[in-house]
Amino acid sequence: MNDTASLRAELLALLLEPLGVDAMAGLASLERLAKDVDAVAQACGCASLPPSGTTLRWVSDAVAACVEEQELVRLAAARGRTLTLSEARALRELMRLEGLRPHLQALEGVTVEALRAGLAAVALAERVLPGVLEQCRRADQGWPKEIWRSIFEIDIERAMTDLRRHRRGSRQAAGARELVLKHSVSTARDLQNRDLVTRLENVQDFVAAKESYEAVLSVQPEWWRWLGPDARFRFRSDRRDALVWAIEARDTGAVSVSSLEMLADSNVRAVIEQGIVTVPVSTTSSPAALATSSAARLATGLPAVASRTDTSELRALESWYAKDIELFDRVAAAMDVRRTEPDLRAALEPLVDELTHSFGAVDASRSAYRDIQSTLWDEVEARLQRTSYSAHAMESEHLVGAISRIGALERELRDAVRAMPAVRGRLLIAIAGRTKSGKTTIRKALTRDADRTGIGRGAHRTTRETSAFELGPVTYLDTPGVAAKDDDLDAQRARDACDNADAVIWNYADTLRDEESAELQRLLLSGKPLLAVVNLKERVDTLDRLQLFAQRPERAFTSASGHAVRIEQVSKAVGAAPPIVLAVHSGAAHEALSTQDRELGDRAFRASRMPELEQSLAQLLAERAIPLRAVRLAEGVRAPLAAFHDRVIEELPQIGLALGELERSAPSQQAALLEAIQIAGQNTRDCLEARRHLAKEQLSDVVPSLGGVDHSQRWSDFITGLELEGFTSILEREIEQEIRKRERVLRARESAAERQDGERLHVRQRPDTTVWRWIAVAAEGAGTTLLDSFAARGIPKKLAADATKGNPAMVMVGYLLNVVVGVAKAVSREADRAEQVKHEWTGKTAAAAETELDERFDREEARLARIVDDTTAQIGAQFQEQSADISRTRERFEQLRRLQSAVRSALDSIDLVLVRRLLALAGGDPAAIRSARRTPGVELRVWIDASRIVEVRACLQAQLVDVLTERIEICSDSGSPVDVAGTRGASEGKTDG
């Protein structure tokens, strides 16, 4: 298969594919046909030669692509990684992507699960993990960076207990300070105990958040770990961007999912990095637009077949094509216009008829399937446009689910329409049977190869690998034997070859053991065309024995009937129809090829019944294998589309219901959430107002302590004790709880204003009334001293004279009391003035303090109102954007619904091409069938004109029906079933149309 002639035949088959020919016709026949097409094209008015090299570019590109793949295989082998051709093709497809190079490093360590993730899943992870790590982020903002290196070494519980229970100057508090500060920096040594408590609480939050983070990851996909939060507890932006790039490359259909998943292999990534430098892979994100339909066939079909050859053969193919480019361009031009030129199409039909071979006429279904796929691909590309969503689209898990399910369907559709029919049209026949049954001898006889190499002797089994050989338009697969005692690998290789073949020659020799019977029954139940060959073993290894066999061959075939009965018994045991059984003597046929007596050789070859084997094989291929190949060709294109169609029928109604529920519930959710936010705001303001009244009641105890040296600290302690900042946290917490109940996130939050140093209560110095008390004490002391001096020095003369007139003692006392009372009155007047000053200071200070309290509470109330207003505005914006996101999702949903009908139409077209092909093989007129559809239960339903029912029924024989399905229902123009061909008999009921 790896020769330039095969490549040339397949390239010509691609050019001539619209005529229904393929590589089975052979290189010589295809070259003649190409020249005839050129002559017919000129005769029909297509004489204007297209620009030279119209199709050469696509052949050159295919050759270059195959060379690139081979170089990638070589690079991978050098790094210890074995690449298959399909993997190399996928790798080259990857390397064409723009953006691959800058993301390679970020994709290091990527898991397959990550590459299979969707954008919705990434957005969900972005939403969940930052919330889990919110406490970590808050702790990180208020703690010296150096402490995180040893944060888990701190005995947090003991430090918290010591700092809260003991005074700042106590030994226990000092120990707690040292325990914490030794993990921090020298600049933190002036922290107060209150600050340490706050920071240790942050540490507690950090530890709790880390535990929550690990708990989340323990139940989430491993690819979350690959995204790895950075130091700021966000996903690593480079890895996230690389993952999003990979997902978008997959979702937009730039590469298939399987190709993208190769990035998870470190060896493959190393090959990519090396290949970017050494392999001249074009990095264009998408190839240039195809010039013609012929160019499209070459671009899609040739690389798949050319990759099997080496570089020298590829270059030889390119040189041969370039040499005859004018002829090939003329053929391509004729193929491109034949649909629109009836005269040209009619003139080409006789040429195609000349290519009829022994297995039936040429098959135009490949071209039809490729056209169906191309049309569907164009429609998919035109309708499935990229859709951008807002950042808030992922806040609703239900919307995320709808987006994700739609994206999955779109990816499945893109992958489904990638499946193009194969180019190669050769039939594959596997030769299978028991070890030492003569399979290789049959191969030698079929190919007229007299060489004895590979033919075993005695108990030695020779064939251990499946090998291929070609004979005309057929490729035979010589398989290892089954039922070997010590090697099941041989049987598995033989089984794989039989599963891939169009037909099987089962080589029966002498007996049928249990292992052989099981494998034969498996093949019979598969429905694959099978020819059972009873290979006789009578020795003909001498000239005399060969001559005796040629004279009396019936002697060697006497036991054949018994073997045929045994094969029928084995078949009936599993309810399978017995295969065609033919007795041959492959040994005699092979000996006949090497004998010097050619007359004896001819008689012996005919006596071996090898010509009958070849004739039976040709008939089997024409009647069974060719139809089966047509079915497999259709299934290769149809199966992925049918899988998508079945999936979309199941998924779309559910997605539609989910979208309808989102559209209906969004307004009520918004109203309920806004109401909850307003209630939370009002409740917090009520609490704040109650705290205001309590604070004013406490002012009578606080004001007397003001006006001193440390009054600012006393006022600050009073204000701090009110914990006004806590109301903002309370409100934010309540709002956050309400939002989380509805699975939403606020992406921005107003930060509390920092307290300014100038924010303190300004009051006059408190008046000191102790001075006036000391004045009163001094006056009282002065009176006492005066009396004492009278007693010591005697009474003055005036007072003594007055005393002689009356009671001397009373006169003296009265005089002294007058003096003391005068002094006391003076002191009392000063004390009253001091008390008045004190009351005035207290009143003014209380008023100032109350005003300051009102201002602080008013500011806090305004902040709370602002938080409520901002949150309300954000929620409104979120719901507005979500509504737009739902509308975009609805639009994508409707696009899929419209594409569902396009896929259904493509499936019907494939079924129509297939059933017309089968009818043509059965000798009928394909035009009799107007439409066809496979349906559950019926399997295949065809619509024909009522006047042609008998004709079609006569052509669709049971054995032909069994090739495709167990039952075909024939419907007339009225739509009702009028006839059924198949093994189940007639059906009842009406068609579903």
Burial (CB count <10 Å: 0-12, 13-18, 19+), residue 406: buried
Region 625-648 average pLDDT:
88
CA-CA distance, 734 to 740, in Å (whole number)?
A: 10
Gyration radius from the chain CA atoms: 49
pLDDT of 910: 93
Are residues 282 and 96 in contact, defined by beta-carbon separation less than 8 angstroms? Answer: yes
Tokens 């000996």 sit on residue: 591
Residue 989 predicted with pLDDT over 50: no
The answer on pLDDT for 536 being more than 60 is yes
What percent of the chain has a predicted confidence (pLDDT) above 90?
Answer: 8
Residue 768: predicted pLDDT = 63
What separation in angstroms does the CA of 773 have from each of 586, 820, 827?
142, 16, 9
pLDDT at residue 411, rounded to an integer:
86
User: Is pLDDT above 70 for 820?
Assistant: no
Q: Tell me what pLDDT residue 812 has.
A: 58
Of 455-459, 596-600, 659-663, the poorest mean pLDDT is in 455-459
Distance CA 902, CA 611 (A): 50
Give residue 648's pLDDT: 94
pLDDT digits (tens, 9 = 90+) for 551-598: 888 888 887 888 888 888 888 888 888 888 888 888 888 888 888 888
The mean of the pLDDT values for the chain is 77
Angle at 161 between CA 158 and CA 167, to 5 degrees: 125
Residue 894 three-state SS: helix
Of 772-781, 842-851, 878-887, the one with minimum mean pLDDT is 772-781
In DSSP notation, 516-585 reads HHHHHHHHHHTT--EEEEEE------SHHHHHHHHH-GGGTTTTHHHHHHHHHHHHHHTTPPPPEEEEE-
State yes or no: pLDDT of 697 exceeds 80: yes
Model pLDDT, residue 362: 61
d(CA 233, CA 219): 19
Neighbours of 898 (CB within 10 A): 11
Pure H helices in 806-957 = 808-921, 949-955
How many Å apart are CA 613 and CA 589, to the nearest integer? 11
Q: What is the pLDDT of residue 180?
A: 64
| C-alpha to C-alpha distance for 260 and 705, rounded to whole angstroms | 75
d(CA 764, CA 767): 9
The pLDDT assigned to 896 comes to: 93
The length of the chain is: 993
pLDDT at 181: 60
Q: Where is pLDDT greater, at 656 or 404?
A: 656
Tell me which residue of 358, 342, 309, 267 sits closest to 69, measured CA to CA. 309
Q: How far apart are CA 480 and CA 486, in angstroms?
A: 13
Q: Which of 764, 771, 761 is nearest to 840 (CA)?
A: 764
Q: Check pLDDT > 80 for residue 137.
A: no
Closest among 539, 633, 626, 638 to 933, alpha carbons compared: 638
Instruction: Average the pLDDT over each of 587-591, 672-676, 918-922 and give the range with the smallest value.
Output: 918-922
Does residue 987 have a pLDDT over 50? no
Angstrom CA distances, 736 to 323, 692, 752, 874, stand at 75, 25, 16, 13
What does the block give as tokens for 497? 């070859």
pLDDT band at residue 646 under the 50/70/90 scheme: very high
Return the H-helix or E-strand segment holding 979: strand 977-982
Pairing status of strand 580-584 against strand 929-933: unpaired
Res 177 pLDDT > 90: no
Q: What is the pLDDT of residue 895?
A: 93
Whole-angstrom distance, CA of residue 463 vs CA of residue 840: 119
Q: At what angle do helices 808-921 and 797-805 cross, to 10 degrees?
A: 110
At 333 the three-state DSSP class reads helix
Distances (CA, A) of 390 to 19, 120, 387: 51, 12, 10
DSSP codes, 693-722:
HHHHHHHHHHGGG-SSTTHHHHHHHHHHHH
Tell me how far apart the alpha carbons of residues 354 and 348 are, in angstroms, rounded to a whole number: 11
* pLDDT number for residue 981: 47
pLDDT on residue 182? 62
Angle between helices 626-702 and 725-741 (to 10 degrees): 160
The answer, yes or no, to whether residue 195 has pLDDT greater than 80, is no
The structure tokens 């559950």 sit at 936
pLDDT-derived band at 187 (thresholds 50, 70, 90) equals very low
More confident residue, 829 or 677: 677
Tell me the range of 84-88, 225-229, 676-680 where mean pLDDT is highest.
Answer: 676-680
Cα separation, 569 vs 564, in Å, equals 9
Paired tokens of 730: 């309370």
pLDDT of residue 199: 66
Determine the 3-state secondary structure of 950 from DSSP: helix
Distances (CA, A) of 649 to 354, 642, 896: 46, 11, 11
- Whether the per-residue pLDDT at 384 is higher than 90: the answer is no
- Partners of 573 in the beta sheet? none
Nearest to 860 by CA among 726, 760, 738: 726
Report the pLDDT value the prediction gives residue 757, as an integer from 0 to 100.
42
Alpha helices in 237-310 (DSSP H): 237-251, 257-260, 266-278, 293-306
Please state, in angstroms and rounded to a whole number, the distance separating the CA atoms of residues 266 and 671. Answer: 51
